[in-house]
Structure 1
Amino acid sequence: MNQQGTERQAMVSRVTTGMRVIDVEGTEVGTVDLVQRGDPNAVTVQAPTADPGSSLDELIESTAVEEPDVPADLAARLLHSGYLKVSTDLARTGAVYVLAEQITTVADDQVRLAVPARELPPEE
């Protein structure tokens, strides 16, 4: 992992659930629900497929939402770099994702972002 990636992971590792997230414009986005450190080996994401002959328990498990709940190409980026899932009233789905590189500072129980909230991808 390069130095920039290492610094990003160190910043993500300082984030805890419940921290407030503030965008570059000073708008409170919401609170951190999930912290996921990056995995440089994560390149693809495959959705589980349900076998129509499966038991009810297997069917329920196969349709359970995997994180991150975004299109596959974005999911691969999020998994590779690391991300936060943030609960928010600013998205109709109730959550948005923050890439590790969009975090500028983590201090005083707050996560500050380098982008406006409107640029954060919503949960599907």
Structure 2
Amino acid sequence: MRVLDSDDQQVGTVAAMKMGDPGAVTSHGQRQTRGPVAGVVDAFLGAEPAVPEQRAEQLLRKGYIKIDAKGFLASDLYAEADELDRVDESGVRLRVPRARLVPKA
């Protein structure tokens, strides 16, 4: 599904999403439990969200969508759940411009 920023520009497409618990004090228990093979993959590629730990904590608590960014060699981006405006026939619409999104580390 396409992702459009607040300037109505296509940012990319939804690659993944994570529902959050904004009332949580920490992100403990927010990461999805995965099997041993996924653990090995995470060890090499990194666990999601692939951002600095403090920012990951915030994304895990609030929820996020991971965006496969448009453009050759463009880094994936993350939008917090509260940055989402709506979903309509044209795709996911954000309340913020692309520049405010969190880039993959």
TM-score, structure 1 length as denominator? 0.65
Cα deviation for residue 68 of structure 1 reads 0.1
Aligned AA (1:83): Y
Call closer, same or farther: CA 1:22–1:97 in 2, change over 3 Å.
Answer: same
Residues 60 and 22 (structure 1), Cα distance of their counterparts in 2 relative to 1, 3 Å cut: closer
Whether contact under 8 Å (2:27, 2:61) holds in the other structure is no
Larger RCO (CA within 8 A; separation ≥ 6): 2
Q: 2:2 aligns with which of 20, 24, 37?
A: 20
How many pairs were matched up? 94
1:97 lines up with 2:78 in the alignment = yes
Equivalent residue, structure 1, for 2:65: 84
Partner of 1:32: 14
TM-score (norm 2): 0.76
Question: Percent identity among equivalent residues?
Answer: 32
Structure 1 regions of 5+ residues with no counterpart? 1-18, 46-57
Aligned to 1:43: 26
Structure 1 residues 83 and 91, CA, compared in 2 at 3 Å: closer, same or farther?
farther
User: Equivalents in 2 of 1:78, 1:87: separation in Å?
Assistant: 17
Unaligned runs of 5+ in 2: 29-38
The question of whether the paired residues in 2 share the 8 Å contact of 1:86 and 1:96 is answered with yes
Cα contact 1:42–1:79 (8 A) shared by 2: no
Where 2:6 maps in the other structure, the secondary structure is coil
Residue 64 (structure 1) shift: 3.3
Structure 2 equivalent of residue 63 of structure 1: 44
Deviation sequence 1:91-116 (CA, Å, 0-9, x none): 95531000000001112151111100
